[in-house]
Amino acid sequence: MVQKGSKVRILRKESYWFNDIGTVAIIEKATSTYPVLVRFTKVNYSGTNTANFKVNELIVI
């Protein structure tokens, strides 16, 4: 079960953080396409360290 503060591994292959581990920051209650905001320690090419994912694109560690 994905919940705020849990460590997750990213399964989306086209993501910069594929197979990387991040921390869940926010889970939206509304019905959005990508409801889970994950924060990482390293930044991507544009300098951000957060991204939104679907629940089925994450595995809780």
| CATH label of the domain that carries residue 44 | 2.30.30.50
Distance in angstroms (rounded) separating the CA atoms of residues 42 and 10: 14
| 1 inside domain | no
Q: Which domain holds residue 41?
A: 7-60
In this predicted structure, the answer to whether residue 36 has a pLDDT above a threshold of 90 is yes
In this predicted structure, the answer to whether residue 10 has a pLDDT above a threshold of 90 is yes
Query: Model's pTM, two decimal places?
Result: 0.92
Number of domains present in the structure of the chain? 1
- Which of left, alpha, beta for 47 (phi over 0: left; psi -120 to 50: alpha)? left
In this predicted structure, the answer to whether residue 29 has a pLDDT above a threshold of 90 is no
Q: By C-alpha distance, which of 2, 16, 17, 18 is closest to 61?
A: 2
| 44 inside domain | yes
| 2 inside domain | no
Reported confidence tier of residue 55, pLDDT bands at 50, 70, 90: very high
| 28 inside domain | yes
In this predicted structure, the answer to whether residue 31 has a pLDDT above a threshold of 90 is no
| 46 inside domain | yes
